[in-house]
Amino acid sequence: MARPESISDEDLLSRLAPVFRARGYEGASLAELSEASGLAKAALYHRFPDGKLAMARAVLAAAERQMAADALAPAPPRASPAERLHAMAHGLLRFYDGGRRTCLVDVFSVAGTPDAVRADVRSGAARWIAGIADLLVEAGIDPAEARRRGEDAVIRIEGALVLSRALNDTAPFERVAKTFAADLLRPAAAVHPSRKETSDD
């Protein structure tokens, strides 16, 4: 521990990520990032010449890779869509630590975050939705409906994370995870036979 030893990029990102997750882009100070990583500020600038901006983008990219591994494709592609969706729900519970972890899509999309990061968030969220929709299409769901349900899935995940955080109670997120697969595979929606689509305003 006496000598400065190099830390791998992967390890480094895994230590920086919790700071960005918890504090958001603006809230994550270099002092905190330095302490969390065990590297002095100048060393962080050596690894990330573009500073905090580059750190945030790298953390976001790593999160997307981990999400893809943990949640989008944890079950073998040969498994049934239902099995894969249950595996996805399980992966989401792990990825978000049962609802205690903040989602970067949430904290990095607020104003004040640099545009480059926000653009990454936008494309990442779109890929996330598309990934879920693809799975639902494989399950025999109409593409347009699959797209809607992919959005619904992300909406429920993000909303449950916000509510669990606000209430300081993981129950909402756990409940959403529990009904995740069934909600996405529910029958043809049977939309209110007598009033098709609610025609308000």
Which residues of the shown chain bind its own copies in the complex (CB under 8 A)? Answer: 22-24, 26-27, 86, 89-90, 93, 102-103, 105-107, 109-112, 121-122, 125-126, 148, 151, 154-160, 162-163, 165-168, 172, 175-176, 178-179, 181-182, 191-192, 197-198, 200-201
How many residues would you count in the chain?
201
- Report if residue 39 touches DNA, rule: CB under 7 A: yes
Helix, strand or coil, per DSSP, at residue 111: strand
Q: Report the residue from 16, 21, 24, 52 that binds DNA according to the rule CB under 7 A.
A: 52
On whether the CB atoms of residues 160 and 147 are closer than 8 A, the answer is no
By CB under 7 A, residue 111 contacts DNA: no
CB of residue 82 to its own copies, shortest distance in Å = 10
Please choose which of its own copies, DNA, none residue 127 contacts, taking the beta carbon within 5 to 8 angstroms, the exact cut-off set by kind.
Answer: none
Pick the closest to residue 180 from 147, 152, 161 (CA basis): 152
Query: How many positions of this chain bind DNA (CB under 7 A)?
Result: 21
Q: Cα separations (Å) of 147 from 74, 91, 150, 155, 171?
A: 21, 21, 5, 12, 27
Alpha-carbon span 52 to 44, nearest angstrom: 9
Tell me: does residue 38 bind DNA (CB under 7 A). Answer: yes
- If one asks whether residue 6 binds DNA (CB under 7 A), the answer comes out as yes
Q: What is the spatial distance between Cα 48 and Cα 29, in angstroms, rounded to a whole number?
A: 15
* Contact footprint for DNA (CB under 7 A): 4-7, 28-32, 38-43, 45-47, 51-53
